[in-house]
Amino acid sequence: MEFLLVEGIKSSNIDFLEKTIHDDLLCFAPDGSTITKQMDMASHKAGEMIVDKLAAQIEDIRIIGDTAVSTTVYDTKGKMLGNPIEGTFKYIRVWKMFDDGLKVIAASVFKI
């Protein structure tokens, strides 16, 4: 699912992202701000999420019941929520299985 999410982000696949990101998502950005699903989707819809480069390397995935925790390192260049972003970033995402599939319910990202 991590690689599918990467492809969805790269192409701003609104339908896929709407299905994959939980409505109550909370994500901590590298600057400490909190990003919600609504903010993330608005950025994609407005064309403010621009991906020039997004290369992912999954480090670890832990399955705990109906929940998974993944850590992924991204080499990134582009714009996130309209702001320039470039460098190597580490993400931790919490995925939960629902009746309609896996969804990201929480995430955090920091620059390494």
Bigger pLDDT: 1 or 66? 66
**Contact 10/77 with Cβ under 8 angstroms?**
no
The model's confidence at residue 73, banded by pLDDT at 50, 70 and 90, is very high
CATH assignment at residue 79: 3.10.450.50
Structure tokens, 14: 């609104």
Q: Which residue has the tokens 């993400």?
A: 91
% residues pLDDT > 90 (the chain) = 75
Determine the average pLDDT of the residues in 53-76: 96
% residues pLDDT > 70 (the chain) = 100
Whole-angstrom Cα distance, residue 15 to residue 89? 25
Considering the entire predicted model, what is its pTM?
0.90
Domain count, the chain: 1
Domain containing 53 equals 2-111
Determine the average pLDDT of the residues in 42-60: 90
